[in-house]
């Protein structure tokens, strides 16, 4: 089963994707993570997109479609979770083509609904473990007092360069201008399922499971 997790920055896509990976053995394809990895390893592409990402703007469709193509051509899985992709109508069309080239289908689009105020609060409180990628939040899931990750024990916590109020404004604007039309696009295709992203992590998880197991 292949699904898209759709929603604005901070909606909790990454948190929920991790559950699906751990519990269902799915493979998460996060273009944000791929782009950050390209930056860390200093590839030409990574250097090219760094400033765009930090400003909160979208990188070009060609680049992210290329990243997804590479994964779909090389990785086999009993289910992909697309996280942070597609983000534009052109990317959505490209994903449809790529999946059918591989003989795969898109089975559900799960839209995580949250309000803007919650997003700003979540994102400015967010940090990630440098060892394993576990996400912490000053309010809802603080870093343990001993400053060791509960998942991997590392004590290297990072805040993302684009998790500041200025970049966040741009990210939200990019979302509403370029990504939110995908809600209508997938609704028209009969693939759209909304879940309330403002609930507790466990209840969001249950709502997603209900969609997937229907
Ligand atoms: P968010 O927390 O905003 O959902 P991501 O980790 O998915 O963040 O993405 C971080 C940044 O990487 C985006 O703001 C954008 O610059 C770039 N990016 C990620 N995925 C895409 C995509 N599909 N199309 C264009 N840019 C992307
Ligand atoms: Zn960790």
- Taking only the tens place, the pLDDT of each residue in 22-33 is 999 999 999 999
d(CA 90, CA 106): 16
- As a whole number, mean pLDDT of residues 61-71 equals 97
Tell me what the pLDDT averaged over the chain comes to.
94
Residues paired with 117 in a beta bridge: none
Q: Residue 175 CA: which ligand 1 atom is closest?
A: 3
Two structure tokens written together for 131: 């060892």
d(CA 6, CA 182): 9
User: What pLDDT was estimated at residue 119?
Assistant: 87
Give the pTM.
0.89
Higher pLDDT, 8 or 139: 8
Two structure tokens written together for 171: 């990210």
Residue 18 designated active-site: no
Q: Which residues contact 35 (CB under 8 A, 6 or more apart)?
A: 46, 49, 53, 59, 63, 64, 67
Question: Which of these is catalytic: 18, 39, 87, 122?
Answer: 87
User: What pLDDT was estimated at residue 43?
Assistant: 94
Q: Give, in order, the Cα–Cα distances in Å from 57 to each of 54, 61, 87, 100, 178.
A: 8, 12, 11, 29, 11
Show the CA angle centred on residue 104, arms to residues 103 and 107, nearest 5°: 155
User: What pLDDT was estimated at residue 47?
Assistant: 95
User: What pLDDT was estimated at residue 28?
Assistant: 97
- As a whole number, mean pLDDT of residues 114-133 equals 89
In the predicted structure, residue 20 carries a pLDDT above the cut 90: yes
How far does the centroid of ligand 1 lie from the alpha carbon of residue 26, in Å? 21
Residue 13 designated active-site: yes
Per-residue confidence at 154, pLDDT binned at 50, 70, 90?
Answer: very high
Two structure tokens written together for 152: 């991997």
d(CA 12, CA 114): 9
Residue 24 designated active-site: no
Residues paired with 110 in a beta bridge: 5, 193
Ligand at minimal distance from the CA of 133 is 2
In the predicted structure, residue 135 carries a pLDDT above the cut 90: no
Q: Of 33, 11, 10, give the one whose Cα is nearest residue 194.
A: 11
User: What pLDDT was estimated at residue 120?
Assistant: 87
What share of the chain in percent tops pLDDT 70? Answer: 100
In the predicted structure, residue 90 carries a pLDDT above the cut 90: yes
């Amino acid at each position: 089963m292949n699904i898209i997790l759709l929603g604005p920055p901070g909606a909790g896509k990454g948190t929920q994707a991790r559950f699906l990976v751990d519990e269902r053995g799915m493979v998460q394809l996060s273009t944000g993570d791929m782009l950050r990895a390209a930056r860390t390893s200093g590839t030409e592409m990574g250097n090219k997109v760094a400033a765009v990402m930090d400003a909160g703007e979208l990188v070009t469709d060609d680049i992210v479609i290329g990243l997804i193509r590479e994964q779909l051509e090389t990785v086999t899985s009993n289910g992909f979770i697309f996280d942070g992709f597609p983000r534009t109508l052109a990317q959505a069309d490209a994903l449809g083509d790529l999946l059918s080239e591989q003989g795969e289908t898109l089975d559900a689009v799960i839209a995580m609904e949250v309000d803007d105020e919650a997003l700003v609060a979540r994102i400015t409180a967010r940090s990630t473990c440098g060892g394993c990628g576990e996400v912490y939040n000053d309010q809802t899931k603080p870093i343990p007092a001993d400053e060791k990750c509960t998942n991997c024990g590392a004590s290297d916590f990072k805040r993302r360069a684009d998790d500041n109020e200025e970049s966040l404004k741009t990210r939200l604007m990019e979302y509403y201008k370029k990504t939110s039309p995908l809600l209508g696009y997938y609704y028209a295709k009969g693939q759209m399922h909304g879940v309330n992203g403002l609930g507790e992590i466990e209840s969001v998880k249950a709502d997603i499971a209900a969609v997937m197991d229907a």
